[in-house]
Structure 1
Amino acid sequence: MTCAPGVSTETPAPARLSVLRYRDAAALQGDVERRSAKLTDAGDCARGQTSIERWAHSARRRGTFLCTAEADRFAVFWTVDDELVGFATEDPDAGRLLAWWREYDPL
């Protein structure tokens, strides 16, 4: 499913957000591994660099966070492991996208 995010955050939402639902934990993990294999970890997502990371919002919300930094494009993919979902979006501005992500709670 792909949708246009609304205005539920103070920071402007990216133009598009893709949502993936996995049939089980193995399918989620397989997708994370496939996506991770295409990246070379160069540092830290918070610094706008390509990276493969883990994230946690609470005991229930945690997963993998992948970011890809290219000229004029910063793309992120993250999972919420316990819910078997993944999300993908992009924006030219890494700082703006990460500020939006910190505010956004899709579940």
Structure 2
Amino acid sequence: MRIRPHRSHPLWLAFLLHRISGLGLALFLPAHFYVLAMAVSRPADLDGFLALTDSPLVKFAEFGLVFLLAVHIFGGLRLMALEWLPWTGWQKTLAASAVGLAFLVSGTFLLQAV
């Protein structure tokens, strides 16, 4: 299988990461709404569910969720910059910085959650 040249470009990878993070967030939303509905309609069940959130696996999943959110936010800022600002050669550095900043934000969250 031959990799197309545009698919090895860092900005194509930033595009792909932005789409994957959006899909991951969209898949999370139904579970989030279910738990919110549980808080309103079945508070006793919610207490039992929240007891599960103390496990390390859930803490790591929260890290992943915050990472997806941070990547998606910074990817959206990158897209707005592409549309509204004059773009020069530092675009690769900006895209890599957005991913690094997303990891920093989500890592900070993980360290505080553990």
User: What TM-score, normalized to structure 2?
Assistant: 0.28
Greater helix share, structure number: 2
Q: Which has the higher strand share?
A: 1
> Normalised by the size of structure 1, how large is the TM-score?
0.29
Q: Per chain length, whose mean CA-contact separation is higher, i.e. which structure has more relative contact order (CA < 8 Å, sep 6+)? A: 2
Kindly name which structure, 1 or 2, has the bigger radius of gyration based on alpha carbons: 2
